[in-house]
Amino acid sequence: MTTFRMNRRSVLAGAAATAFSARSMAQAQQPITIRIGVLNDRSGLYADLTGEGSAIAARMAAEDFGAAAKGLNVQIVSADHQNKPDVGANIARQWYDNDAVDVIADVPTSSVALAVNQITREKNKIFLNSGAATSDLTGSQCSPNTVHWTYDTYMLSQGTGGAMVKAGGDTWFFLTADYAFGHALERDTTAVVQRQGGRVLGAVRTPFPGTDFSSFLLQAQASRAKVIGLANAGGDTVNSIKQAAEFGITAGGQKLAGLLVFVNDVHALGLQTAQGLVLTETFYWDLNDSTRAWSRRFAPQRAGNMPSMVQAGVYGSVLHYLKAVAATRSKDAAQAMTWMKGNETDDPLFGKGTIRADGRKMHPAYLFEVKKPSESKGPWDYYKLLATLPAEEAFRPLSANACPLVRA
């Protein structure tokens, strides 16, 4: 088509052809070069949660898998999508078109993830999402080229909503960020709470993004609900938790339930402020021996910060993908996806699991409560486990799924 591209393409085609003929001549283990693009927020609000830590996790996956010894030459590239869908879409296209990237991993921020989801499908590559919350990725917008690994909004409301009611928190009041994400969280959690026999006493819509939550918190306090659900994210969550601590809400016996809170948020808030907060995650560094061992290797590379569940998800998903390529000896997206869905996942962070037809990775979810400062034994000792939800309860059942791949 164009001169420069002809050069580049012919080089690529040449390389591919060499690789192919080498393979067809059955020479031993011609190395397969795999390029993995870690696309996430490296400067904004999710930089701690994803950022460079996710790239480190991807690199660790390649090392732990022993990729080089298995004839895989894994290269990790990374970029900042600044939480803007058009920036993310631009990078994704450029990676696929010009930079020979085979897989995009991580991608927090739902709008960016949905854009990358579409592009990956169009270019027939693979998208291993770990960072985004939207359950549409495996629902109405599901794609045969996407795996959604770590968590989603359905699981968050199931985990925090359902398990809280079982633990005795049967009356709820919501502080809902006034935009579609907040509304969806409130709606889903309300359904779960009511199904479990709980009652929702009220809800208040807070302007998004908000800084002053005092009047809303007072309403929540006056409602005498046992649980105050925070159907918000990011800065809103941090601000509302801080102000709730100032009003002595948790000290007064009401529980705060954060519907989207990560361990890094708790670290930023400090135990004094965050104590008593209840939340759901699918990974915590101090969960068992293997998560501890892995996290202790991770933390020194991140200035002592423990991994978030999103970074753990990048590790798990990249590891599983590398296994697929090593097994099929092919970078073909369809083959790799078939292998990944057909074979059980097994990694030190999430344990054994499966990937469903709609691209949903299935693993248990955990309901945690943030410890009191007196209970914490040291830095990053933040959570105590309240309940474990099996994967089938945590994630949306296939029967209730709008994904066209499932119906087909």
Partner 1 sequence: MADVTIAAPATETAEQADHSALHRTLFIAMAALLVVLPFIPVVGYPFFLMKVLCFALFACAFNLMLGYGGLLSFGHAAYFGFASYVAAYTAKHWGLTPEVSILLGTVSGAVLGLAFGALAIRRQGIYFAMITLALAQMVYFFSLQAPRFTGGEDGIQAVPRNALFGVLPLGNDTVTYYLVAAIFFVGVLLIYRIIHSPFGQVLKAIRDNEARAVSLGYRVNQYKLAVFVLSASLAGLAGATKAIAVQLASLTDVHWSMSGEVVLMTLVGGMGTVFGPIVGAAVIISMQNFLAGLGAWVTVVQGVIFVICVLVFREGIVGVIGKWLKKPL
Question: What does the CA dihedral 144, 349, 307, 287 come to, rounded to 10 degrees?
Answer: 140
Number of residues that bind partner 1 (CB under 8 A): 38
- The nearer residue to partner 1, 18 or 98, going by C-beta atoms, is 98
Q: Pick out residues in 344-373 that bind partner 1 (CB under 8 A).
A: none
Nearer to partner 1 among residue 111 and residue 171 (C-beta): 111
**Among positions 45, 47, 191, 398, the unique one binding partner 1 when judged by CB under 8 A:** 47
Shorter beta-carbon distance to partner 1: residue 136 or 369: 136
Q: Phi, psi at residue 298, to the nearest 5°?
A: -75, -45
Backbone angles phi, psi at 363, to 5 degrees: -155, 165
* Least Å from the CB of residue 110 to partner 1: 6
- Shorter beta-carbon distance to partner 1: residue 79 or 340: 79
Q: Which stretch binds partner 1 (CB under 8 A): 178-186, 278-286, 320-328, 353-361?
A: 178-186
- Cis upstream peptide for 85 (omega within 30°): no
> Binder to partner 1 among 1, 25, 28, 69 (CB under 8 A)?
1
Q: CB of 288 within 8 A of CB of 313?
A: no
Q: How far is the CB of 229 from partner 1 (least distance, A)?
A: 20
Site membership for partner 1, residue 268 (CB under 8 A):
no
Can you tell me the distance from the alpha carbon of 117 to that of 130, in angstroms, rounded to the nearest whole number? 12
Is 211 an interacting residue with respect to partner 1 (CB under 8 A)?
no
Nearer to partner 1, 86 or 246 (CB): 86
Non-local CB neighbours of 407 within 8 Å, separated by 6+ positions: none
Alpha-carbon span 223 to 219, nearest angstrom: 6
Q: Which two tokens stand for residue 20?
A: 């192919």
Residues 109-168 that bind partner 1 (CB under 8 A): 110-111, 114-115, 117-118, 134, 136, 141
First-to-last CA distance in the chain? 37
The minimum distance between CB 179 and partner 1, in angstroms, equals 5
- The answer to whether 176 contacts partner 1 (rule: CB under 8 A) is no
Q: Does 179 bind partner 1 (CB under 8 A)?
A: yes
Output 92 or 287, the one with its CB closest to partner 1.
Answer: 92
With tokens 């104590």, the residue in question is 275
Of 232 and 295, the one with the shorter C-beta distance to partner 1 is 232
Q: Which of residues 54-113 bind partner 1 (CB under 8 A)?
A: 78-82, 84-87, 89-91, 93-94, 97-98, 110-111
Q: Does 42 bind partner 1 (CB under 8 A)?
A: yes
Contact between 208 and partner 1 per CB under 8 A: yes
Please name the residues in contact with 354: beta carbons below 8 A apart, sequence gap of 6 or more: 341, 344, 345, 361, 362
Q: What are phi and psi of 167, to 5 degrees?
A: -85, 10
Q: Does 3 participate in binding partner 1 (rule CB under 8 A)?
A: yes
C-alpha gyration radius of the chain: 22
Pick the closer one to partner 1 by CB: 13 or 251.
Answer: 13
Distance CA 121, CA 145 (A): 6
In the complex with partner 1, which residue's Cβ is closer, 116 or 319?
Answer: 116
User: CA–CA separation, 402 vs 188, rounded Å?
Assistant: 15
- Dihedral sign, CA of 147, 183, 397, 392? positive
Token duo for residue 230: 């925070």
Angle between helices 51-65 and 309-328 (to 10 degrees): 40
For the chain, helix (H) and strand (E) counts, in that order, are 16, 15
The residues binding partner 1 (CB under 8 A) are 1-4, 42-43, 47, 51, 78-82, 84-87, 89-91, 93-94, 97-98, 110-111, 114-115, 117-118, 134, 136, 141, 178-181, 208
